[in-house]
Amino acid sequence: MPPETTRTFLERLISKFDDGIYILKGTFTMVFAVRSGGATGVVVKGPDDKNSVAFRMDDKGEVKCIKFSIGNKILAVQRTPKSVDFISFIPDYPHWECSQECKMKNASILGFCWTNWNEIVFITDQGIEFYQVLPDKRSLKLLKSQSVNVNWYMYCPETAVILLSTTAQGNVLQPFAFKSGTMSKMPKFEIELPVVPKPAKLNLTERDIAVATIYGQLYVMYLKHHSRTTDSPCAEVVLYQLPREGSCKKTNVLKLNTTGKFALNVVDNLVVVHHQSSQTSIIFDIKLREPDCALNVHQPVLPGRSIHPYRIPLTGPAAVPTHPPVPCELYSSSWSVFQPDIIISASEGYLWYLQVKLPPTINLLQDKGKLMDFLLRRRDCKMVILSVCAQMLNGGDKGGLPVVATVFDKLNQVYKEYLEAEQTYTVATESGPSRGSAARERPVRTRAVIDQSDMYTHVLSSFSEKKDTSHKFIIAVLMEYIRSLNQVQITVQHYLYELVIKMLVQHNLFYMLHQFLQYHVLSDSKPLACLLLSLESTYPPAHQLSLDMLKRLSTANDEIVEVLLSRQQVLGALRFIRSVGGHDNISARKFLDVARQTADQMLFYTIFRFFEQRNLRLRGSPSFNPGEHCEEHVVYFKQVFGEQALMKQVTV
């Protein structure tokens, strides 16, 4: 038998069964089994060709289903309706093979699913059997079984949950959950089928159902086609939330507003519905709700768009180097869709991961508040969000202040939640784990966290320099961002205040600056006080404003002294440091240096005498210690006032 190409084999594989294509704990795997010359050639492929594996095994009949366990340690092969063969591929372990028949009499195996590297579930038409593979004993151990009539099944590897279709119409689903060698029966639930004219009956098939995790919750998605005789013949996707505990309930309805053939994917917590006849895909976000719709009824977030085509390079003898790649056929009838985000084209022999491109959404979703809600829940959204903010403030797409305020509030709410989670983690870590509590995981900083540095660097700094924008609008936007931060009790960084002050000074709005400081619109900080000091030559009251701010901080005594000394207000600095009780620890030389620089001999005398008295009170002697380095000032004092003016040590 001549070897098959990947394309030909995929066509045959997918048209016959999907059991050679599967996902184990997020790893997509394809296993090809081709019979030739008394042996069966097996090729194991994943998205990365580097991990491909090829081997041969004895030809014992047609392969109905073939799957590796997690880590490619054990291969399971089904050739008959009654049994499954097992072959060990455990590294550094003796090779072994065994076979396991289903326990239920007259049952036929519909398929099997690996739930762990050594745990497997047989699904038969009469129920479910959960086994553990025992490599040492080269056999399987039945852990648990459940009898139920089964039409078909569906497995979600991410959550290790199997759905069994039961009853004549197939619309009663019985879920089972698997974890660490245990099988748990979850409450069954019924899918509401559309009403059809009698005597016709509608059965639920696996093509109408998909299972995926959305926002951390497991959902069963039902593609519901309404009868053309109904008032609303358009199709819809009905979501049933399947909790680990409690009953399953219908939670969301996605309105498709059309009819035809559809396929479902889930990408970045978005439900993507592909429509074959229009060759478009529409996106739903179940966290977004339409204000004019009933609760949990959703319209598409964005207008339908076609998938960006992948260009396939020409290969083979007919290929010419100068020929450009050809685009693949989109929405082909040969496409097979696997959850959550995989599309396979059997006719072209390609596998793709579906991705959502966020930048185009900026122009597709005009409501900036809704756009921000949408983007904040996406991966890799930071630069797109910052681009939205810049576009909102710059150019011809200037949003009014209410829109700006809404966007800032949404960003800072996410920012605040991250800061609180980080603080809770820090406190819990410092206090140590409490008895019986699990170790707390450090919160993950998602791309949706836009902090003050991000906003300053990518948006506000350049925005404040716009020459074609009213300075009043710029100041209003800056103050709106500061208001938003204060509203969620986030400490505003000084560089944002500096940006505001720079704008006020640049446009001579000193009265506004004075009011902002007087009414504490701009919060006190040492960097801000220093900035005010630098403005003294332009705005003289800034000096006193700076001192008042430093005094209010109560932790800036050294800075206040430095400010006063820099203005040669030596007595003022001395009075201030005495008022806060720090005069016993200050440097005498620093004060004497400044007093001497004033060329005011009486001022120097007063300061010198103060420190002599301090020395006498603290050490019993008016003399300065050598470590104070005041020798030159003692010499100067003698030259000006005479040696007899020095204080004498009091003897008792």
Give the pLDDT confidence of 310-346 residue by residue, as tens digits.
777 766 444 455 567 777 888 888 888 888 888 888 7
Closest by alpha carbon to 125, among 83, 93, 164?
Answer: 164
pLDDT band at 194 (very low <50, low <70, confident <90, very high): confident
Alpha helices by DSSP H, listed for 460-597, are: 461-463, 471-487, 494-506, 510-518, 526-534, 542-553, 557-566, 570-579, 588-597
Contacts of 100 (CB under 8 A, 6+ apart): 83, 84, 86, 122, 131, 139, 140
Looking at residue 119, its amino acid is: E
Distance CA 50, CA 28 (A): 14
Residue 20 has pLDDT above 60, yes or no: no
Residue 437 has pLDDT above 50, yes or no: yes
8 A C-beta contact, residue 397 and residue 388: no
- For 155, the enclosing helix (H) or strand (E) is strand 153-156
Query: Considering the entire predicted model, what is its pTM?
Result: 0.78
Distance CA 536, CA 541 (A): 7
Distance CA 140, CA 124 (A): 17
Quick check: helix, strand or coil at residue 160?
A: coil
pLDDT value for 37: 63
Give the pLDDT confidence of 122-166 residue by residue, as tens digits.
999 999 999 999 998 999 999 999 999 999 999 998 899 999 999
pLDDT value for 12: 41
pLDDT band at 109 (very low <50, low <70, confident <90, very high): very high
- Report how many helices (DSSP H) and strands (DSSP E) the chain contains, helices first: 17, 30
pLDDT band at 107 (very low <50, low <70, confident <90, very high): very high
Distance CA 492, CA 486 (A): 7
pLDDT band at 529 (very low <50, low <70, confident <90, very high): confident
pLDDT band at 446 (very low <50, low <70, confident <90, very high): confident
Give the pLDDT confidence of 640-649 residue by residue, as tens digits.
888 888 887 7
Residue 597 has pLDDT above 60, yes or no: yes
8 A C-beta contact, residue 177 and residue 186: yes
Quick check: helix, strand or coil at residue 164?
A: strand
pLDDT mean over 364-381: 90
pLDDT band at 28 (very low <50, low <70, confident <90, very high): low
pLDDT band at 17 (very low <50, low <70, confident <90, very high): very low
8 A C-beta contact, residue 541 and residue 511: no
pLDDT value for 320: 52
Least trusted range by pLDDT, from 182-191, 288-297, 434-443, 503-512: 434-443
Distance CA 409, CA 593 (A): 52
* Backbone φ and ψ of 156, nearest 5°: -110, 100
Residue 438 has pLDDT above 80, yes or no: no
Give the pLDDT confidence of 51-84 residue by residue, as tens digits.
677 878 888 888 888 888 888 889 999 999 999 9
Residue 13 has pLDDT above 60, yes or no: no
Residue 19 has pLDDT above 60, yes or no: no
If you search the block for the tokens 């005094």, which residue do you land on? Answer: 551
pLDDT value for 21: 56
